[in-house]
Structure 1
Amino acid sequence: MPGFTALDGTELAYHVVGEGEPLVCLPGGPMRASAYLGDLGGLSRHRRLLQLDLRGTGDSAVPADPATYRCDRQVDDVEALRAHLGLERVDLLAHSAGGDLALLYAARHPRRIRTLTLVTARARALGIDFTEEHRREAAASRTAEPWFEAAFGAYERVWAGSVADADWDGFAAFFYGRWDTAAQAHAATEVEQTNERAADLYASFGAFEPAVARAVVATLEARVLLLAGAVDSGPLPRVAAAVAELFPRAELSVQPEAGHFPWLDDPRRFTETVMAFLDRER
């Protein structure tokens, strides 16, 4: 298993999937092991995916100081990986909560970014996040699904304050464009792949300074792709569009009938969209 040493001495691991030009991939969760990314819908046939296990997840070691789970304190880990790989600039892809880490990295090291691909990504680092109203809006588009009533009931109980595992598991279908066997198997791995303690600290107080990050990304020279799922709530496509407006060279792609994991819902379309962006003449 390839690995490297972070600045604080924590041993970190990354997984290499496929061959070709490198694409550094940051997982979401937050703090979920990168295994759930799989081969990103076959993207590994076109790029060598370097999937980082964030500290305390997957094959990476648990840090001595839990405070280093905070998102902004993991920016140094991404930079250490870049240096370890010997890359002057990186093509960086981030999913979900990994979007915050990628945005903070871009704000701190803007000249190290060649391209930035944000897949159904959060943007708390820029002061934009999804809300309960966003969740309800996306859910309302899926009332015809056979699982809707049970899943929405679980949503309602969680919004009311339920901490029961059954309720949190019960609305997983909303995160997928198709709640089929593959989606259910994918969802079933979330708990075992996630460091819950680290997840609680990831976005804790002090992690984000949106005004500072916005000022930097407003001058970012790198091209940026925001890929949203048409039926995803985090972010809604219109929220992803608002994030795109904060960059000088950003584009938005909304994948039809896709949820929070678009490479599972339509692998070919996902791969074609990402590769068309990455391969575009710079």
Structure 2
Amino acid sequence: MPHYTYTSYDGAELSYTLLPARGDGTPRRARPPLVCLAGGPGRDAAYLGDLGGMDTARDLVIPDSRGTGASPPASRPAAYAFPRLAEDLESLRDALGLERFALLAHDAGAAVAQAYAAAHPGRLTHLVLVCPGSRLQGELPGDAREIFESRADEPWWPDAYIAAQQLTEAHDTGEIRALLFRAAPMAYGRWEEPQRAHAAAEGAQLGPVPRAGFWQGVDEPTRRALLVGLREVTCPVLVVTGDRDAVTGTRAGELVAASFPHARVRTLHQVGHYPWVDAPELFRPVVEDFLTRP
């Protein structure tokens, strides 16, 4: 996929991918683009793919955050912190000439999206947060573990459980990548070929330096100020969760939604942390219907 560049607030030349709308063969008015943020944190945005065919209806703009994909590393560690990544997003909006736009964010990318919404509430027409964590809200619910343990009768579970425990002590890059793949089934609604292929790329897509810097410098006053800012966000917000998501669970999504004045939660059945991989036929219509409503 071709990469394009834009100049961010500090002069850095950062990269983004544009997936042009493919269309479905039926005439339609042009729909505005959807900007899509990857999570990880610090994961190459390639794992988003086309988000289960979301490029059928509209252009997808997918930025590479600093130190991932085709974007260069940050010149200073503070630039990896998610509030600064939100300012990269504002620079991208300006470069694209978008007065207002729709934003989708997955996983840790939801923290960037929330920081952006708090700082620039008038710039968003719609906000979609997919399987977000709730660290920004100050709570880490335990239902993800409950979901994981409820699947103990599945054949992959014993090895995934061991790998998940070993990950906390692993330091070697090769070992971490192998353990991530062994633990990966817990992140999906089922463990079949599409899920295996998606999971196989994860180890090579994670950037340890951007990952380590994502939460740096975000102290308690900053966190609380962001939450206050979210109460001023007037655009509609959709939080999508999966009832088999053993990474962030579903309760975190409810906490995130409660931070906004106009948010609702949609939980997809038999879906894990990557809804567009497990059930694109469920995920895509839910998001597209939300984006086409005022």
Q: TM-score range by the shorter chain?
A: over 0.9
Residue aligning to 2:100? 89
Counterpart in the other structure of 2:7:
5
1:274 alignment partner in structure 2: 287
Q: Could you tell me how far apart the structure 1 residues matched to 2:207 and 2:242 are?
A: 26
Is the 1:177–1:258 Cα contact (8 Å) retained in structure 2?
A: yes
- TM-score, length-normalised on structure 1? 0.93
Unaligned runs of 5+ in 2: 22-30
One-letter amino acid of the structure 2 residue matched with residue 173 of structure 1? P
DSSP 3-state at the match of 1:40: coil
Q: Residues 154 and 167 of structure 1 are in contact (CA less than 8 Å); yes or no, is this contact kept in structure 2?
A: yes
SS of equivalent residue, structure 2 residue 52: helix
The residue aligned with 2:199 is 187
Runs of 4+ in 1 over 6 A off after TM superposition: none
**Structure 1 residue 109 corresponds to structure 2 residue 120:** yes
Partners of 2:245 and 2:56 lie apart in 1 by: 26
- Residue identity opposite 2:237 in structure 1: V
Give the equivalent residue in structure 2 for 1:199. Answer: 211
**Are 1:48 and 2:59 counterparts?**
yes
Task: Using the TM superposition, name which of 207-216 and 161-170 deviates more.
Answer: 161-170
- Aligned-partner Cα distance in 1 for 2:283–2:219: 31
Q: Cα deviation per residue 1:165-214 (whole Å; 9 max; x = unaligned)? A: 24343211100112112211211111222211111111124266232112
Amino acid at match of 1:147: W
Aligned to 1:64: 75
Aligned residue type for 1:247: F
Where does residue 238 of structure 1 map in the other structure?
A: 251
- What letter matches 2:239 in structure 1? L
Superposition deviation, residue 145 in structure 1: 1.2
Provide the C-alpha distance between the structure 1 equivalents of 2:211 and 2:97, rounded to a whole number of angstroms: 30
Q: CA RMSD in A?
A: 1.7
Letter in 2 for 1:245: A
TM superposition score normalised by structure 2: 0.89
State the shift of 1:220 in Å: 1.4
* Cα distance, 1:21 vs structure 2: 1.8
Q: Which amino acid aligns with 1:150?
A: D
Within the candidate set 139, 164, 167, 1:155 is matched to 164
Deviation at 1:234, TM superposition (A): 3.7
Superposition deviation, residue 260 in structure 1: 0.5
Residue equivalent to 1:36: 47
Task: State the distance in 1 between where 2:137 and 2:223 align.
Answer: 4
> Secondary structure of the residue that 2:209 maps to in structure 1?
helix
Would the aligned equivalents of 2:134 and 2:252 in 1 still touch at CA under 8 Å? no
Q: How does 1:96-135 map to 2 (within 5 A)?
A: 96-130=107-141, 133-135=142-144
